[in-house]
Structure 1
Amino acid sequence: MRFNVLSNRRSALSLLACTAALCVSAALAQTPPAPQTVRMRGTIVSMTPATLTVKDRSGEVVELQMSDKLVVTEVYPIRLEDIKPGSYIGTAAMPQADGTQRAIAVSVFPEAARGTGEGHRPFDLLPQSTMTNATVADVGTISEGPLGRKLQLKYKDGEKTVVVPADAPVVTSRPGDRSLLVTGASVSLFAQLVDGKPTAMRVNAGKNGFALPY
């Protein structure tokens, strides 16, 4: 979902605010719905102790509050060879005519995150792109040239064959802190409306100029 918030523009979060206002009377008699989460990808323009200003992929500049409970995660590169049978991964990919998926990027989950988002679904990175979170059942040999490596992925009720090109980014993550949130840092963040203001709840960030693949 696109995150495009400015005070004088329509956006997913402003629509959310309108919906919330229209539903106040009904909500008084019901359990409030879970807050809508909006994803934004971009580059940090500036920050203060309380706010984060980010330029998204479309060029829009958005200022967000930072939650007191903000979770920051560092995303960093690893090698294609680090993907092993039994690894739990997420891969953004494009469907191919032969039924396989061609990876745009691969993220190897830490063991503590095994099972996160398991399954296969559409993804908003590119038109028609997909996301598959699954366990690596089999790893093919690395081919010379651009082909890379073929992975057989299994998830509940399904499986996919993913071809990872040699130039596809492969990353993993570890806990980070706000010191990663510096001008120029590549980020992928998740925000909610808090007291009517777009608020960053979770931020994935690259370090020392590393650009997040998604």
Structure 2
Amino acid sequence: MSIRLKLAISSLALTLAGTSFAQSSTDKPERIRGAIESFSGSTLQVHRRSGETVTIQMKDTTHLNAVKPVQLSDIKPGTYVGAAAIPGPDGKLVAKEVLVFPEAARGTGEGHYAWDLGANSSMTNANVDTVVQGTNGRNLTLSYKGGSNTIAIPANAPIVTLIPATRDDLSTGKQVFVVATHGKNGSYDGNFVVVEKNGVVPPM
């Protein structure tokens, strides 16, 4: 793994863990999802899914990555993952997406907490205990400090891992997932950016 990706993983650990805490400070990281309207110099304009356009300053310390698809069969006991999920009709958690963390990111934002990828969504960042893939369904059993969850993985749920990206990938129309803090004059300072690459949209 490259040094740059290791640094990006360290940043992701801090920013994702920070977003699980109380929403009381303007310094608190915020998650921004949307499409790039423009990128010029160090200024990234993103049209958010919620409708407004925001300005994000890409700092020298901003970490930039993309994602690539992997298969459920690539996940083994002992893998560290983050799974966003919503309750199914029976109350069982059903994955909206799964991020397979590189080994250097083990422990990133560990736990189970509220997420913002749909109503009643949650995030579980945890160690994989078991993987079930068969006629009775596809499931991951995850354990974290203080608890465990079993999450059903639908066939259409994206499963991805992080790969490096460059600022050349920040082109108009690309989808992005950004963790940022409030900056000056209503803009944001980008901490961690995941950009669409090779047609793979960040599912987080």
Q: TM-score, normalised to structure 1's length?
A: 0.77
Larger radius of gyration: 1
1:138 to 130, 135, 146: 130
Q: What amino acid maps onto 2:200 in structure 1?
A: F
Query: What secondary structure, in the 3-state scheme, does the structure 2 residue paired with 1:86 have?
Result: coil
SS in 1 for 2:171: coil
Aligned mates of 1:185, 1:87 — CA distance in 2 = 29
Partner of 1:49: 41
1:161 matched residue in structure 2 = 150
Residue among 167, 174, 177 paired with 2:166: 177
What is the percent sequence identity of the aligned residues?
45
For 1:46 and 1:80, the matched residues in 2 are separated by 35
Q: Whole-Å Cα distance in 2 between the matches of residues 153 and 73 of structure 1? A: 25
Q: Which amino acid aligns with 1:76?
A: K
Q: 1:67 aligns with which of 59, 73, 77?
A: 59
Equivalent residues of 2:26, 2:182 under 8 A apart:
no
1:180/1:148 Cα in 2 relative to 1: closer, same or farther (>3 Å)? farther
Q: Which has the higher contact order (CA 8 A, sep 6+)?
A: 2
Instruction: Report the CA distance between 1:153 and its aligned residue.
Output: 0.8
C-alpha contact (below 8 Å) 2:88/2:94 kept by paired residues: yes
User: How far off its partner does 1:97 sit?
Assistant: 5.1
Structure 2 residue aligned with 1:102, among 73, 83, 94?
94
Partner of 2:50: 58
Q: Which residue is 1:194 aligned to?
A: 183
CA contact (8 A) 2:26 2:181 kept: no
Give the Cα separation in 2 of the matches to 1:81 and 1:191: 33
The alignment partner of 1:172 has SS state of strand
Query: Match for residue 201 of structure 2?
Result: 211
Could you tell which deviates more after superposition, 120-129 or 56-65?
56-65
Which residue in the other structure is 1:152 paired with?
A: 141
**1:99-125 alpha-carbon deviations (Å, 9 max, x no partner):** 531111111001000110111111111
2:73 partner SS: helix
Give the total of aligned pairs. 181
Residue number in structure 2 paired with 1:23: none
Matched letter for residue 148 of structure 2: E
For the 8 Å contact 1:71–1:177, the answer to whether it is kept is no
1:162-185 Cα deviation digits (max 9, x unpaired): 110111110010232212211121
Aligned AA for 2:104?
A: A
Unaligned 5+ runs, structure 2: 1-22
Letter in 2 for 1:156: K
Question: Which residue identity lines up with residue 144 of structure 2 in the other structure?
Answer: Y
C-alpha displacement at 1:98, in angstroms? Answer: 4.2
TM-align CA RMSD: 2.1
Aligned-partner Cα distance in 1 for 2:51–2:114: 24
**SS of alignment partner, residue 104 of structure 2:** helix
Whether contact under 8 Å (1:40, 1:56) holds in the other structure is: yes
Preserved CA contact (<8 Å) 1:76 1:206: no
